[in-house]
Chain A
Amino acid sequence: MVTVEGVLENPSGFHLRPAQLFVEKANQFKANITVKNEQGMGAAGKSILGLMTLGLACGSKIIIEASGEDEQAAAQALLELIKSKFGE
Chain B
Amino acid sequence: MELLDIIKEDTVFLGLEAANREECVAAMLAGMEKAGLVKDAAAYLNALNEREAKGTTAIGFGVAIPHGKSDGMAAPGLAFAQLKTSIDWNSLDGSPVQLVFMIGVPMEAAGDEHIKILIALSRKLIHADFREKLLAVQSKQELFQVLQGI
Binding site for B on A (CB under 8 A): 12-13, 15-17, 19-21, 23-24, 27, 47-50, 52-53, 55, 57
Do A53 and B126 touch across chains, with their CB atoms under 8 A apart? Answer: yes
A57 to B92, CA, bound (A): 23
A16-B57, A17-B55 known; A48 and B92 CB under 8 Å?
yes
Query: Which residues of B (69-90) have their CB < 8 Å from a CB of A?
Result: none
A20-B55, A49-B122, A53-B123 known; A13 and B115 CB under 8 Å?
yes
Number of A-B contacts (CB under 8 A): 45
Residue in chain B with minimal CB distance to A41: B123
- Which one, B30-38, B40-48, B58-66, B133-141, is touching chain A? B58-66
Q: A12-B112, A20-B59 given; name 5 further pairs at CB < 8 Å.
A: A13-B115, A16-B65, A20-B92, A27-B92, A47-B60
In the bound complex, residues from chain B placing their C-beta under 8 Å from that of A19 are 59
A10 to B116, CA, bound (A): 16
Do B119 and A55 touch across chains, with their CB atoms under 8 A apart? Answer: yes
